[in-house]
Amino acid sequence: MALDKPYVVGIDIGGTNTTFGIVDTRGTILAGGAIKTSKHVEFDEYIGQLYNEITRIVEQENLVGQIAGIGVGAPNANYYTGNIEYAPNLYWMKDGKRLEIIPFAETLREKFGIPVAITNDANAAAIGEMTYGAARGMKDFIMITLGTGVGSGIVINGQVVYGHDGFAGELGHVIMRRNNGRLCGCGRSGCLEAYASATGVARTAREYLETRKDDSLLRNLPLDEITSKDVYDAAIAGDQLAREVYEFTGNMLGEAFADFIAFSSPKAIILFGGLTKSGELLMRPIRESLERNILPIFRGKTSILLSELKEGDAAVLGASALGWEAK
């Protein structure tokens, strides 16, 4: 396929950093960079700096006029409107007021004069996986990001599911424990995210340490400071309690995946994010739990896969993949 404009730009906006890169059709990042998201309080200054930095690398690479589109991944981004809506961690001012609904796609489109599309991080990850990663050739799959929280991007019939309002795919907030569930950041209780995220793993470990009496390497650490990384290290060192934290987490993910499969019967569920570094510690209990919990007609049909995108590049790659379909 000879493309007239064979490159896209991906931009990933986080509360701390905004990273970006120029990407080709095969998912190679030719050049990239980053700016501090919160350096400028004025939205126009932030956009100005982002524009200058991206323009600089595009010129450096001699790619002026060869960028097909820009894709943006950002929290609370709405694909339909192109806006970032009420994102708690993004603070910009315009005309003396906080911008709560940020017309991000439109602003960039006017600035660069090329097509821009925007979606949330997990949807961007799903598109990235479909374009360059483990979901190439798949029309039906679910991307689950297991990081600080639990995010999801759902693909059905080859299209990301946005729902009627642009906000579909909040699988971190299905309720897994209806009685006495853990309080979640969303204000409700018992959400998947409160258990199966990196913070959830640390919470489970602290719960076990408080309610059980058995020895554990984790008892050498101050209870309130235990992280999912500590739990991982202890589990790798053979610590039984830490291993049971992974059993519990994987078991719940398997239960949740069985319900997701009853909904959209995906070819694969693809996992991405910090928690997946625990490998078989988490994957084995997920697979075993899924096998126990799945509706018989779906048994053995859905693969549980790990992302094939390099973690450091995935956010920019995912966002960039959206650039190919930007209009």
**Binding interface with its own copies (CB under 8 A):** 138-140, 154, 156-157, 159, 161-171, 173-178, 186-188, 255, 258-260, 262-267, 293, 295-298, 301-302
State how beta strands 141-146 and 268-272 pair: parallel
Shortest Cβ 141–its own copies spacing (Å): 8
Contacts of 297 (CB under 8 A, 6+ apart): none
Shortest Cβ 172–its own copies spacing (Å): 8
Q: Of the two residues 33 and 166, which places its CB atom closer to its own copies in the complex?
A: 166
The neighbouring-strand residues paired with 93 are 42, 98
Q: Of the two residues 130 and 258, which places its CB atom closer to its own copies in the complex?
A: 258
Shortest Cβ 181–its own copies spacing (Å): 11
Interatomic CA distance for residues 13 and 84, integer angstroms: 10
Shortest Cβ 82–its own copies spacing (Å): 17
Q: Of the two residues 21 and 133, which places its CB atom closer to its own copies in the complex?
A: 133
Interatomic CA distance for residues 207 and 151, integer angstroms: 24
Q: Of the two residues 104 and 141, which places its CB atom closer to its own copies in the complex?
A: 141
Q: Identify which of 234, 121, 131 has the alpha carbon closest to the alpha carbon of residue 170.
A: 121
Shortest Cβ 316–its own copies spacing (Å): 26
3-state secondary structure of 22: strand
Provide the token pair at 96.
């003396």
Q: Of the two residues 57 and 168, which places its CB atom closer to its own copies in the complex?
A: 168
Interatomic CA distance for residues 306 and 23, integer angstroms: 22
Greatest Cα pair distance in the chain: 66
